[in-house]
Amino acid sequence: MWKSYPATSPSFQAALEALDSARISIEDVGASLRDYAGAIQASPERLADVEDRLAAIDRPQAQVRANAGCVLKFGAEASRKLQRWKTKTKSCATCGRSKAPLLMRISLLQKSLSKTRKDAAKKA
């Protein structure tokens, strides 16, 4: 195709030959693509099925993204409750340890009060 133009220099002729070779390659690729496209069977039903499947895949992902904030909020609240429970448990354990000596002291005071009352009753 390009050979019909007179070349003024050999380097220009080489460029025209490279272009002609590229044109032939492009035409071959175009023919291959036309053959491939002709072999593809377009089916609107198949396309609808594929789109439905993709939507079914995307739906749970969208729900997870929407619920991620709720999950994080729930986790933070659960963490705070757990921390309060641990604090209360430690405090109860401390109370249990400090309560025993107080109970012994109360018992001794009750006995002393009871003895003092009996002694006062005898004198009265």
Domain ranges of the chain: 1-40, 43-124
The fraction of the chain above a pLDDT of 70, given in percent, is: 83
CA 31 to CA 33: how far, in whole Å?
A: 5
First to last CA, the chain: 143
Q: What is the pLDDT of residues 52-73, one digit of tens each?
A: 998 888 877 776 666 777 778 8
Cβ 9 vs Cβ 15: under 8 Å: no
The 8-class DSSP code of residue 7 comes to P
pLDDT of residue 115: 87
pTM (whole model) above 0.85: no
